[in-house]
Amino acid sequence: MIAAARGPVARPVGTGHRSRAARPLGAAVVALAIVLLAGPVASAATPAVGTLQRLVGQRLIVAMDGTTPSPSMLARIAGGEVGGVILFGRNLTTKSALVALTSQLHRTAAEAGQPRLLIAVDQEGGTIKRIPWAPPTLSPPQMGALASTSIARAQGLATGRALKALGIDMDLAPIADVPASTASFLYRQNRTWSFSASRTASLAVAFAQGLRAGGVIPVLKHFPGLGYATLDTDLHMVSIRASRAALTPGLQPYRMAVAAGLPVVMLSNATYPAWDAHAAAGWSPAINTTLLRGQLGFRGVAMTDSLDGTAASRGLTASHLAERAATAGTDLILLTGSEAMSRQAFAALLADAESGKLPLTGLEVSSNRILALKNPA
């Protein structure tokens, strides 16, 4: 991976209903009173869903414009319009400033009674390492050459502990793409582990398990695989026209990740006609629901790659793609453009939720997955 906000609309979620069977008027009144007093019912396993605004906002991970949060960003976090913040090099100065920044962001959400805020970075190692002084000390190609799952896990563990100490909750790593050839753009960026699907799977999952043991949420990317992509999907509109048989080896890291119970998968911005000729993975029900959840059995949180660059390459807005991704059932939506652009996306999604274009049931399902991720049992 490498955009006029509306005011908050508080709308309680959950409605009572009455049986169609006839009942005496007094009993009906009593039953209705019980429903109104009880409010929405939440299972013991998942937190209760909040307002419509929060249901929409929890799905957004957004970028900050500067090295300190703007009053607008803090207000959005406090108002439940943001579920997470992604940090880039432009947001970082010193280690002490980073700790102060993450503490302020987390405190803003907590003091407002909002769910835990996720703070994310891309810390793959090698060429993609937003925090230069933090692990991993080895790049994925270097770990791939060593072919040691214990080393990969140790690198993930050290990275997780370092990020956690800085107040960071989520690492958008590891890469799980298996390059099909040296023409792969990810291979040319020195970001892949190996040409072997089995080696990639074992090392990527080991690194992810290390991150998790270190207290940080790992994110395997980019499902269902960018191994055949020769152009950067952040900059170009990419269609991978390989057959399902050719694409199947690239699913191996995700099958292993699902078996290991890893919590988050990032969907790619490429289109795969073998599964869906019309929608890229991030906003494709065929890939998100049928393939990832149905065939692979994934039960965790599905996340888009950054939508801003791919939207520009398609002549679309990030808001438009955010709407499509949310409608397709992708849980977390990553927006790395300006704060103004992510405010527009929130407003568009809230309008869809208010109109019913974005169904309440889908919002609740995604909310429960995200809240379970933020507050594991």
Calculate the alpha carbon distances from 111 to 77, 104, 349, 353, 370 in Å.
Answer: 10, 10, 25, 26, 20
- Please tell me the predicted confidence (pLDDT) of residue 31: 35
Q: Which DSSP helix (H) or strand (E) runs through 87? A: none
45 within a domain of the structure (yes/no): no
Report the pLDDT value the prediction gives residue 209, as an integer from 0 to 100: 98
Q: Which structural domain range is residue 215 located in? A: 51-374
Segment 250-260, tens digit of pLDDT: 999 999 999 99
Please give the model's pTM, rounded to 2 decimal places: 0.87
Q: What is the end-to-end Cα distance of the chain in Å, rounded?
A: 30
> Residue 30 falls within a domain, yes or no?
no
Query: Would you say residue 370 lies in a domain?
Result: yes
CATH of the domain at 124: 3.20.20.300
Total structural domains within the chain: 1
CA 230 – CA 5 distance, rounded (Å): 37
Q: How many whole angstroms separate alpha carbon 286 and alpha carbon 196?
A: 26
Buried b (16+ CB within 10 A) or exposed e, 135-170: bbebbbbbbbeeeebebbbbbbbbbbbbbeebbbbb
Q: Looking at the domain assignment, is residue 19 inside a domain? A: no
- In degrees and rounded to multiples of 5, residue 335 shows phi and psi of -125, 115
The pLDDT assigned to 1 comes to: 59
Q: Does some domain include residue 207?
A: yes
Query: Which portions of the chain are predicted below pLDDT 50?
Result: 2-49
Residue 138 lies in a domain: yes
- The answer to whether position 235 is within a domain reads yes
Residue 7 lies inside a defined structural domain of this protein? no
